[in-house]
Every structure is written in structure tokens, then in C-alpha cells.
Structure 1
Amino acid sequence: MASNSRQLHFIFFPQLAHGHLIPTVDTARLFAMHGVKATIVTTPLNALLFASKIQREKQLGFDISTMVIKFPASEVGLPEGCENVSSITSQEMTPKFLKAVTLFQQPLERILEELRPDCLVADWMFPWATDIAGKFGIPRLVFHGKSSFALCVADSLIRHEPFKKVSSESEAFDVPGLPDQITMTRLQLPDYIKDTAETDRKKLMDEAIKSELTSYGVIVNSFHELESAYTQHYSKVMGRKAWQVGPVSLCNRNNEDKAERGNAAFIDRDECLRWLDSKKPNSVLYICFGSIFRTSAAQLNEIAKGLEASGQDFIWVVRKVNDEDREEWLPEGFEERMEGKGLIIRGWAAQVLILDHEAVGGFMTHCGWNSTIESITAGVPMVTWPICAEQFCNEKLIAEVLKIGVGVGAKEWCRWGDDPSTKFKVTKEDIERAVSRVMVGEEAEEMRSRAKELKNMARKAVEEGGSSYSDLNALLDELRLNCP
């Protein structure tokens, strides 16, 4: 509980994507555990994803609730029920979804007028939230859902534009002004950073940066001990106010909470745990590329071949594939040969629950920040396979700064994994090599040892007296002084 007794009321307004929604809800729960009245504003179908969890928190006496607002699907030409980014099935739907999100301004304004909260915590993808909060004289905090490292790299890329000084897409360049020497290529950069042409995505990024500069500050799902040089760089060099309050996933303290983060798991949690219980410690590789990304059948086939060649036990989460398509992406007889050795989950998995199991010794990941921080919190080293967003930045943090992972050899940023224009594929040999380095041998043990140290630091950070616990209380005390 925060040191001052006056209760603050926070509105939390997450972006409608699992990668944003899940950590924002966990953050709201964490704030409620520190005595805040927390109200989460979202759409009806997204509210269902965490309804039972909020109900349990209420029963425990925490002041937390949900308010729903209509998703304007028909107004922008989207089908009813398309309320989450995971429902987007084509590139043509993306601008419609972004348009729908801009229509939340008036409903949110009405809620602020009705509830008169002390603070608005809104996702970075809602740049207009700062101005709306300003209308009511309340501070707006930005929730990024990214690492301080990635925020610092992005700032340097935008500020210095080092990618304009190379002659080819694959030529490496240094990202200037950072605590570590970080090299990247144009291939690894998002189009909205390296391209000069005005696009909806680039316009959103520019507006988000301006909005962040005029906001009260930023909440980061990280902890000082993990990336201290970059938390300091963010505040002292970039001049931004930020509070490290993570890892927020640690507010899920029992198996029920862990199992219910996001969608309902496709496989019974007890069945999954029994399978893991049958395996030796650190012997299982967990493979998952997040809630959105679609992988081509050819690439899935290459992953299967690489896993089989590595000889490692594995749990592989694959976005649902129709039964009639199964033979297009799985090598013939693969599931029969892997029976008892590999578990394929076609759909959603209870990721935190799986990572926390002692049998899991490695995680093949797309390097989304939620997956990255959850793996660190579980003490599990990573096989890094970045795809889009800021994931190539996170790979640099994992493999080069923290030294708790090995890259699989992904070279090219792409928004859609099954995009036929993608030039570079990751081969069976790439996969086998990276998996073996993370799972077996002296190098693997060294990475696992470093990951376990970070796990212990993460858990201490959120305990009373820890760095994240203290940062959160400092933020609440500061707002009490500024919100009479």
C-alpha cells in the first residue's frame, strides 16, 4: 500500500491488442493492489478476456472495475466482432481498425467528464489522449508496453537518422549516442522509421512522440536492474519522466491467474502441466510467436524440421491451422515421430504458466516485449526470432546486452509473416543451430545462469522495498501532491 492514505482514481485505456491489453490490465491490477481505484475502459468483447480475473480481484477487496464502450465496427467497414487486432485477417483491414480507434475520443471524453478521475493511463497509440486529459485538468500517463532500451534506440534512430548514411539495405550502421554499441541494418527497421513517405502509421508515430513529450510521463513494464543504463538515458539524456513498475506479470501469483491471461487456453492447463511434469528440468523448448503474427506454411515446415533435427523436447504454439492444411506445413509423419517428445498447441497457450515450469529451459520467441520480460521473469534464455514492431531492438538487448539469448538469423522486418515479398527465410539449419546453443552445453548453462540472476532481480523489484515497488509508490505520492 502506498505511504499516503488518500485514494487516487486512475482510468486505464489500453489499445485493443493482446500485447497491449494484457500488460495494461496487469498494470491496473497492480495499481489497485497499491490502494488505487482502477477503472479499465475497453470494448465488450475485450472486457470478456479478463472479466473473471477482475471479479476475483473485487472479491479480494481491491477497488477495480471495467467500463465498456462500443467498438464502431460498422462505421469503418469492419465486420461485427472485429474488436481486437488479432481479428485482423488482411492488410486492408488495418487502416480501418486504426480509424475505428480514433473514434474513441468522444466516448472517452464523456467517461472522464462523468467520473472525474485523478489520472488517465492511455496507450501510446492514442496520442489524442493527452489533449483530452488536459481538458479536464488531469495528468495523462503514457503506457508503451516496450522496454526502455527500445524507446532509447527508437529515439536515436529518429533523431540522428543513421540509416540514411548506408548504401544498401543490408549494410550495418551504428546507432549513435547509446550506452552500448548497437548496430543495425535498414532491413531491420520498421517502414515508419526509415521511409520518408507520409503514411498513416508514420503520422501516428509522429503524433505519439509529440503527445508523449507533453504528457505527464511514461509507465514502463520493466525494472531498473534489468536495463539501468537505458532507464537513466531515457530520463537524463532524452529528458522524459518515467516510472519502472514491472514486471507487471508478477501480479499473477497463482495458476488460475496465469492461465487466464488473454484468451482461454486451447489445451487444458492441467494436461499441459502433467506433460511438463514428465520432463526433466530445463529440457523443454517453448516456441511461440505471439498473438498476431502469421507464419507461412513453408516457414512452419522449416521450423518443424529444425526442431526434429535438434532432438529437443518442445511445446510449440501455432496459430490455428485448418486440419485440411496440416500436411502443407508439417513434414510427413512428424506428429507421429514426435509423440511424447513434442506438444503442438493450435491456438492460445498459458504462456506464463508454461515458462514458470522447471522443465522449460528455453524459449523461441518473436521478441515482443511481453514475451521477453515474461521469459526473463521466469529465468529462461531465448532463441530470438524478431519479426516486426520494435522486436529487432529487443533482440539486441537479449542477445548482445543481457547475453541471455541467441539469434536464429532473422534479417528482415515485415508486418505479415506470410508476405510473399519477404526476401529471407530462416532455414532448418539456422533453427537447429540456435536451439542447440540455447539448450545444450556450456554456453547454454552460462546463459541460463545469467537468466536466473535476472529472474531473482525481477522478483525482488516488485516486492516491498524493491525498485519497481518504490517507483510506483513514488508516482502515487507525487500525484497525490499534484491532485488535491
Structure 2
Amino acid sequence: MALEETQEQNQLHFLVIPMGSPGHYIPTVDMAKLLAQHGVQVTIVTTPVNALRFGSILDQAIQSGLPICFLEFPLPYKEFGLPEGCESIDDLPDMKMTGALMQAYTSLQTQVEQYIEQLNPRPNCILADTFLLWPGETAKKFQIPRIMFDGMNCFTQMCNHVLHLSKVYESVGDSELESFVLPGLPDRIELTRSQLPFAFNPKIKGMSDYNEKLRVSESEAYGVVVNSFEELEQGYVDEYKKVKGDNVWCIGPLSLCQKDESEKVQRGNKSSVNKNECLKWLDSQETGSVIYACLGSVSRVEPAHLIELALALESSKRPFIWVVRAGHKTEKIEKWIEEQEFEKRTKDRALLIHGWAPQLLVLSHPAIGGFLTHCGWNSTLEGVCAGVPLITWPQFQEQFYNEKLVVQVLRTGVSVGAQKTSVLWGDDDKPGELVKSEAFVKAIEMVMEEGKEGEERRKRAKELSKMANKAIEEGGSSHRNMTRLIEAIKNQERNTKLI
């Protein structure tokens, strides 16, 4: 999948460097396609396993004539004590190995720099995941503008910013459940220490140093690309621009660049369910009647927690799709499903997907009435695009921020009431907070109810969906921002030639 090394005159060349995790990789590939659709030559740095994983959707883009390709480098997993073929966070047998995987990715720096040295002309821009430090060093070495791809949203960035500046969480001492208000935000947002990302947990070894390096790296970047759209969180976009300067471009929702059915199915991993079987099942359900439950690509939820969810879905008496996945603990929950004959006893109104689901395809179906989600930003935004109300069950990291955005600011979701982290990153054997089935059932009923509150929630969700689709159309805010981003890099190139 190599492109010719020569560039057309005046055609920009972006070198895109994703992080090894589906939640980062998928929107990065979406963004690369979007850049290519705007006439930019795009080269995506990847590794063999990830090239296989995302190759089909890229092949489709290349066949359609888009100037996009993978630049594949081997990842020395053995050198860093990783299992064979382990090139992504969701492949790790233990989250304690995340640091080793990040170190392995750092080893790509030398190979990437050797590639850049051979190019004439060199790339006009390096667009790299915000969590990768080494692309900043490479950009400085070759004097190439670097743009960070932020896979989160401006709301999350502002929460992190005010927490870093104010240290307001210190006001509650060691209490994990006493709430505090984040100062200076457009809305009143309350959190507890147990709901904060790992960056604010002094007990996690090395996290403080890493985050300080990230802050320095961010300050040196030319700009930030955000997978969001201005109309969704205008107040927070404005505040973030005050912090970062004007070079903040909201170009999302990136998932909406998948236009046809085949693209929606191919996005991410190979689907674990037949597309036609899935659609046939959905077609047989009433409009807005189905609950879709999926907890993300890096799900490490304890089997005991998933059992509570399963019992709640059964107790709801509503049709549902449940994506069964628990990382290396999947075998335990699968055993429970088999022993309890759960699939058999719910077969008249349930579809269980064991592995990877074609989420965009499912969410876009009119039968879906509610999305039970872990509040990862990709899933949250995909729910927004589909116009579906959310049932929120955040697990860790910025997911509690996203819940606040959905439930309090956008008012399109209902929380199951999780008060603290249920997944302890790097400590997979310690169970976090258990949410009982009754809490799930209550939240499901509130989202699916036909009363005034439920109707208003659905109405707001549909309005946001229309805004999202309008944002990416020609003349929309995200389309304009993509044009501005490209123009900014063109101007940088012109200024460089004048020096």
C-alpha cells in the first residue's frame, strides 16, 4: 500500500502517527481519510498487526482514489517483554504492561526519522496522538509543524486544565467520595477524587512525571485537532481556545466520514456478527425499542459486574443487544452465560455479540432506543451522532467527565449511579465499585420511558444528531475548521520558504 514518494506540486503531505489502541486508532484513520478527501497526501505510521486490522478500510479509500497509505514498521515486542503480535492496548493480557507497549512504540522514532531523511520534499506536518511524546522531538529535529490529535473533547480538556491549576481536589483531603466543584467552568460540575483520571492520582508510580512531560509537549505543538464539533460544546471550545490559542480545530464527528454500510461494518476490528443477521434482527424490532449495551474496546470489567448488567437487561423486559467482551476475563463471563443458559432464556428478545460489534451500523438503526455505554468519547460521540439517549456507566479516566457532559450539560443521558472507578488500571485483579442490577434497570426505564422527561431527552438527542451531521457538511463548522487547518499549514510552508 505504498504511494509514490514524489508529491504533486503544492500538495501537502501529512505524516500521521496514531497510538496503539482502538479508541485512538479508529478516529485517527477517520481523520486521515478526511484529510485525504480534502486533497492532502496522508501517510499513516503503523505496525504489522494494526495494518492488517485497519487495512481493509484503507484499501477501500485507496481504491476510491484518495492519496492515503500506511507506512509499516516492525514493533520490537520481544525486546520489551510483550507477547508475540501484541501491538495494541486491547491485546495486552495485563494492563500493567501498558508502559512496556508505550516504550515499544517509542522505538519507532528512529525508523520514522530515517524515513523522513530520505524524503524530498519532507512532510509539511506531523499529526500525532497527544499521548505520544517522541513525535514532538522528531518534529523539532526536522523543523516540521506538529499538530496534536486529541481523541477527547474540549469539555474534558477544560476539566483537566482547571484541576491542574486549582488543585481543588486537595480540599477534600484523602476522601474519595466527598464532592468538590470545578472552578471557572461554564456549568457547575461536581466530581470526587475517585472519579478523576489517573493523572491526578499520586499513588500511580510515574504518572506525575509523564503528565508533566505531556504538558510541555502540548505547549510546544503548533495546534490541536479535536474530535468534536463546536455546536456540541461551544462554551468549552471558547474556553479551550483561550488556553491554547486560536489553533484549536474541532473537525468532528469523525465517525460521520463513514458514509456507506460497508464502511460502517469494516470500521475497527472485523465484526464478530454477520452484518445481515444483525440487521435482520434489528429490522424485526419496533422503532426505538432496543437497548444497545457495549462497554468499549478496552473493556476490563469484572465478570461479577457484567452479571449485574446481564440480569438488569433481562429484568428490563425489553429487547436488547449486548456486546460481550471483558478482555482476558471474557472466558469467565462466557462460562456464566453458558452455565446459566442466559442466551437461551433471552433468545426471544436478545442478540448477544461475542467480541466486536459493528457499532455505527447498530446505532444508526431506527430500532435502537437507548445506548448503555462506558462513556468513552468515541462511543459517546457516536451515540450523539445517532440521536440516541445514553445510559451512562463510566469505568475510568475521562469517562466520568463525559458522563457529566451528557447527563448535566447536554441532558441526553441518565447515569446508573457509578460513584467511583470500576476498573483499576494496572491492577486488574482488584474489583472496583459494583453497580447492582436494580440501578441499571432504573436508568434503563428512565431513558426508555414514554413520559415527558423521556420525550424531551429524545428530542434533544435528535437535535444534536442534526447539528452533528450539519457540522461536517460543506459550510458547516467542522468542514470550515478542516479548511482552516489545511490553510494554516500551507501558510507555515510559505513562510518557511520565504526565510
Matches for 1:58-97 after TM superposition, within 5 Å: 58-97=62-101
Instruction: Give 2:437's aligned residue.
Output: 428
2:321 alignment partner, SS class: strand
| 2:111 matches 1:111 | no
Instruction: Identify which of 11, 16, 37 aligns with 1:12.
Output: 16
Q: By how many angstroms is 1:339 displaced? A: 0.9
Instruction: Identify which of 181, 189, 205 aligns with 1:182.
Output: 189
Quick check: 1:297–1:329 contact (8 Å CA) kept in 2?
A: no
CA distance in 1, matches of 2:118, 2:374: 41
| 2:377 matches 1:369 | yes
- Which piece of structure 1 moves more, 96-105 or 409-418? 409-418
The code of the aligned residue for 1:112 comes to I
| 2:45 matches 1:41 | yes
Matches for 1:264-413 after TM superposition, within 5 Å: 264-319=270-325, 326-328=334-336, 332-413=340-421
Quick check: 1:124–1:143 contact (8 Å CA) kept in 2?
A: yes
The code of the aligned residue for 1:364 comes to L
The code of the aligned residue for 2:200 comes to I
CA distance in 2, matches of 1:304, 1:417: 26
Task: Mark the CA change 1:366 to 1:325 in structure 2 (over 3 Å): closer, same or farther.
Answer: closer
Task: Mark the CA change 1:481 to 1:417 in structure 2 (over 3 Å): closer, same or farther.
Answer: closer
Quick check: 1:295–1:418 contact (8 Å CA) kept in 2?
A: no
CA distance in 1, matches of 2:32, 2:399: 25
1:50 alignment partner, SS class: helix
Q: By how many angstroms is 1:23 displaced? A: 0.2
2:435 alignment partner, SS class: coil
Quick check: 2:424–2:432 contact (8 Å CA) kept in 1?
A: no
TM-score (norm 1): 0.95
1:225 alignment partner, SS class: coil
The code of the aligned residue for 2:361 comes to L
The code of the aligned residue for 1:254 comes to D
1:483 alignment partner, SS class: helix
- Count of residues in correspondence between the two structures: 479
Instruction: Identify which of 137, 160, 176 aligns with 1:169.
Output: 176
CA distance in 1, matches of 2:445, 2:12: 50
- Which piece of structure 1 moves more, 230-239 or 113-122? 230-239
CA distance in 2, matches of 1:211, 1:55: 33
Instruction: Give 2:5's aligned residue.
Output: none
TM-score (norm 2): 0.92
Considering only aligned residues, what root-mean-square deviation do their CA atoms show, in Å?
1.8
Task: Mark the CA change 1:324 to 1:431 in structure 2 (over 3 Å): closer, same or farther.
Answer: closer
Quick check: 1:296–1:418 contact (8 Å CA) kept in 2?
A: no
CA distance in 2, matches of 1:138, 1:325: 48
Matches for 1:227-246 after TM superposition, within 5 Å: 227-239=233-245, 241-246=247-252
Q: By how many angstroms is 1:95 displaced? A: 2.1
1:163 alignment partner, SS class: helix
CA distance in 2, matches of 1:449, 1:479: 40
Quick check: 1:288–1:365 contact (8 Å CA) kept in 2?
A: yes
| 2:28 matches 1:21 | no
Quick check: 1:383–1:408 contact (8 Å CA) kept in 2?
A: yes
Quick check: 1:266–1:348 contact (8 Å CA) kept in 2?
A: yes
Task: Mark the CA change 1:325 to 1:241 in structure 2 (over 3 Å): closer, same or farther.
Answer: closer
CA distance in 2, matches of 1:232, 1:474: 17
Quick check: 1:234–1:240 contact (8 Å CA) kept in 2?
A: no
The code of the aligned residue for 1:171 comes to E
CA distance in 2, matches of 1:379, 1:42: 33
| 2:199 matches 1:192 | yes
Task: Mark the CA change 1:30 to 1:325 in structure 2 (over 3 Å): closer, same or farther.
Answer: closer
Quick check: 2:250–2:478 contact (8 Å CA) kept in 1?
A: yes
Q: By how many angstroms is 1:349 displaced? A: 0.5
Quick check: 2:147–2:225 contact (8 Å CA) kept in 1?
A: yes
Instruction: Give 1:463's aligned residue.
Output: 473
Instruction: Identify which of 151, 155, 159 aligns with 1:149.
Output: 155
Quick check: 2:14–2:40 contact (8 Å CA) kept in 1?
A: yes
Q: By how many angstroms is 1:247 displaced? A: 0.5
Instruction: Give 1:140's aligned residue.
Output: 146
Structure 2 portions without partners, runs of 5+: 1-8, 495-499
Q: By how many angstroms is 1:358 displaced? A: 0.5
CA distance in 1, matches of 2:332, 2:246: 52
Instruction: Identify which of 452, 459, 470 aligns with 2:462.
Output: 452
Q: Deviations over 1:66-108 (max 9, x none)?
A: 1101111011111210011111111332221122122122122
Quick check: 1:44–1:68 contact (8 Å CA) kept in 2?
A: yes
